[in-house]
């Protein structure tokens, strides 16, 4: 994947030197292993244990963690350059597309942090993984997630890393188009459909990521094998694969993001059609 290693995007808020190594009340830092443990507890007890990572309102991140080695700092800065370039590319594409959808695009901010941070959606630690918060219209990423994406999930490559951000920006698109609010309201009206609606929303964000990927390819930004990297990344974070890693078996009723095959399919749908109107997962009879 080719990108311009230029100045950081004006829409990046680099909080890596200010976010904390411990959360309020001395909460421990969690890696992917901690995330998988919380997933197991959530499945077994049917309760959102991820929400317990944070706490009450008004919490602030603690003292910054230990300084990185020069090698680790250089690696992280390279990742920051990549996501900055992807951010500007994707948002430029959506700004051009939105008038055809009868809307106007409003840029999201990308917050880079280490270990823990406070967002408008609550306190978050790196264990939660990258996420989009509609409350402040920001995407939050601890760049350390990308190392786990490679080492734990086997999804290496710069386009795999780009897919992660493009997916989260897909949620921003949903927010601006009113889709996110409609889904939340539908989930409240029909609690029995909560998971199904969540899966459809996540798969649509995958499809939107594919739309951007195709545009990036059309502009000469992708190399041979990059599309496969993105597909592997989409499959790597499928619910069935994560459940298998966490508990040793798959429970489709507990899916909230879609299976590996579904995530691959909808990412490819967006890539092949380059049309966000073809990403209507809510109208699809088969996902």
pLDDT of residue 154: 87
pLDDT of residue 61: 34
Q: For residue 284, tell me if it sits in a domain.
A: no
Q: For residue 245, tell me if it sits in a domain.
A: yes
8 A C-beta contact, residue 21 and residue 62: yes
pLDDT of residue 152: 85
CA 36 to each of CA 42, 49, 207, 243: distance values in angstroms, whole numbers, following the listed order: 10, 11, 25, 8
pLDDT tens digits, residue range 245-270? 889 999 999 999 999 999 999 999 99
pTM of this structure: 0.84
All residue ranges of the chain with pLDDT < 50 are 21-31, 44-46, 52-65
Q: For residue 124, tell me if it sits in a domain.
A: yes
3-state secondary structure of 107: coil
Q: For residue 285, tell me if it sits in a domain.
A: no
pLDDT of residue 43: 55
Which residue's entry shows tokens 């507890």?
41
Burial of 168-192, coded b for 16+ CB within 10 Å and e otherwise, reads: bbbbbbbbbbebbeebeeebeeeee
CA 104 to chain centre: 23
pLDDT of residue 64: 44
Task: Compute the chain's Rg from CA coordinates.
Answer: 18
Q: For residue 99, tell me if it sits in a domain.
A: yes
Q: For residue 61, tell me if it sits in a domain.
A: yes
3-state secondary structure of 3: coil
Q: For residue 6, tell me if it sits in a domain.
A: no
Segments forming the whole domain that contains residue 264: 12-279
Residue 106 tokens read as 């409003």
Q: How many domains does the chain have?
A: 1
Q: What is the DSSP letter of 283?
A: T
Q: For residue 227, tell me if it sits in a domain.
A: yes
The pLDDT > 70 percentage for the chain reads 83
């Amino acid at each position: 994947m080719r990108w311009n290693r230029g100045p950081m995007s004006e829409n990046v808020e680099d909080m890596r030197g200010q976010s904390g190594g411990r959360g309020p009340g001395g909460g421990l830092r969690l890696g992917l292993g901690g995330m998988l443990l919380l997933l197991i507890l959530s499945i077994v007890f049917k309760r959102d244990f991820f929400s317990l990572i944070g706490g009450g309102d008004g919490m602030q991140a603690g003292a910054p963690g230990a300084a990185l080695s020069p090698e680790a700092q250089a690696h992280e800065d390279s990742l920051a350059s990549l996501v900055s370039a992807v951010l500007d590319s994707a948002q430029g594409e959506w700004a051009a597309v939105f008038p055809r959808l009868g809307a106007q695009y409003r840029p999201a901010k990308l917050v880079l942090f280490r270990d823990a941070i406070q967002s408008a959606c609550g306190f978050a630690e790196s264990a939660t993984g990258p996420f989009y918060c509609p409350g402040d219209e920001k995407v939050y990423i601890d760049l350390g997630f990308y190392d786990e994406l490679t080492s734990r999930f086997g999804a290496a490559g710069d386009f795999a890393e780009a897919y992660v951000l493009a997916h989260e920006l897909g949620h921003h698109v949903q927010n601006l188009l009113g889709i996110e609010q409609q889904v939340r309201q539908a989930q409240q009206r029909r609690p029995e459909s909560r998971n199904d609606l969540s899966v459809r929303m996540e798969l649509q964000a995958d499809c939107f990521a594919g739309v951007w990927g195709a545009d990036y390819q059309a502009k000469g930004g992708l190399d041979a094998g990059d599309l496969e990297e993105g597909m592997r990344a989409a499959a790597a974070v499928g619910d069935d694969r994560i459940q298998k890693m966490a508990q040793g078996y798959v429970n489709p009723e507990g899916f909230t993001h879609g299976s590996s095959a579904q995530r691959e399919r909808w990412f490819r749908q967006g890539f092949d059609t380059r049309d966000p109107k073809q990403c209507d997962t809510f109208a699809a009879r088969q996902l």
